[in-house]
């Protein structure tokens, strides 16, 4: 009898940001395949009876190639197991969730998707930065700074736009190139930027700067991944609205 795969978003780190459905399914799992960005406290929620498999990826360092993860999910489900594929954030926002489901469909394996709090929403909230605000930004755009071919070749002209917030996932490695490119395509060098490191966790750090100086600020503070970049006038509200660890 074929089992089932549950593709679950674990949120950005704080275990209390798990959805009720994610928590319930995690507690019932037979097999859990989890990523690098899933918080330690969330991994500790996995039942001892469940088979735990780490399949995380860091930049250019994969414990398992994506194709093997896809096949493994199908194989474990075909053994009759209730399989949880646990991903940091939301599985459909830079989480490769779609690629994994395509394989399950080809293999005839049933599945469900459980959305999670994506890093943009979670980290911005815990940093005190509203991604939209009537006075500053009427739109928000999510981008990844780590593309499939290893470059940071983004549609720069579209990104330099008034009243828009940019949120760049995995943007720390290419930060120098990102900041220089945005300025080159017309962004004001004084545009506010925030780096949110390990957002929503007890180790969260937030650094605010300008697009011109942000790379130097990241080096000076030894900012480390996972980190999120937030670019836009909304960042000016951070000092006023920060709350996490303060109250």
Which sequence positions are flagged as catalytic?
A: 35, 57
Tell me if 232 sits within 8 A of 191, measured CB to CB: yes
Cα dihedral 217, 223, 228, 229, rounded to 10, equals 10
Counting every residue, how long is the chain?
247
Determine whether 233 is exposed, middle or buried from the number of CB atoms within 10 Å of its CB (0-12, 13-18, 19+): middle
Place of tokens 């995995």: 170
Q: What are phi and psi of 63, to 5 degrees?
A: -70, -35
């Amino acid at each position: 009898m074929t089992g089932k795969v549950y593709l679950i978003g674990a949120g950005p780190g704080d275990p209390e940001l798990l959805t009720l459905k994610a928590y319930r399914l995690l507690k019932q799992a037979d097999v859990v395949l989890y990523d690098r960005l899933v918080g330690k406290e969330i991994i500790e929620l996995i039942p001892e009876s469940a088979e735990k498999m780490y399949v995380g990826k860091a930049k250019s360092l994969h414990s398992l190639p994506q194709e093997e993860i896809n096949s493994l999910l199908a194989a474990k489900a075909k053994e009759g197991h209730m399989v949880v594929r646990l991903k940091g954030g939301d599985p459909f926002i830079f989480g490769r969730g779609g690629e994994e489901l395509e394989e399950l469909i080809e293999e005839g394996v049933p599945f469900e998707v459980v959305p999670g709090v994506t890093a943009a929403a979670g980290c911005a909230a815990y940093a005190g930065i509203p991604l939209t605000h009537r006075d500053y930004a009427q739109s928000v755009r999510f981008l990844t700074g780590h593309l499939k071919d290893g470059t940071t070749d983004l549609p720069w002209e579209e990104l330099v736009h008034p009243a828009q917030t940019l949120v760049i996932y995995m943007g720390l490695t290419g930060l120098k190139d990102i900041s220089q490119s945005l300025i080159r395509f017309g962004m004001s060098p004084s545009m506010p930027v925030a780096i949110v490191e390990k957002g929503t966790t007890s180790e969260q750090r937030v650094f605010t700067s300008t697009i011109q100086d942000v790379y130097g600020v990241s080096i000076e503070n030894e900012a480390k991944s996972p980190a999120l970049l937030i670019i836009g006038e909304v960042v000016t509200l951070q000092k006023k609205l920060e709350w996490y660890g303060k109250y």
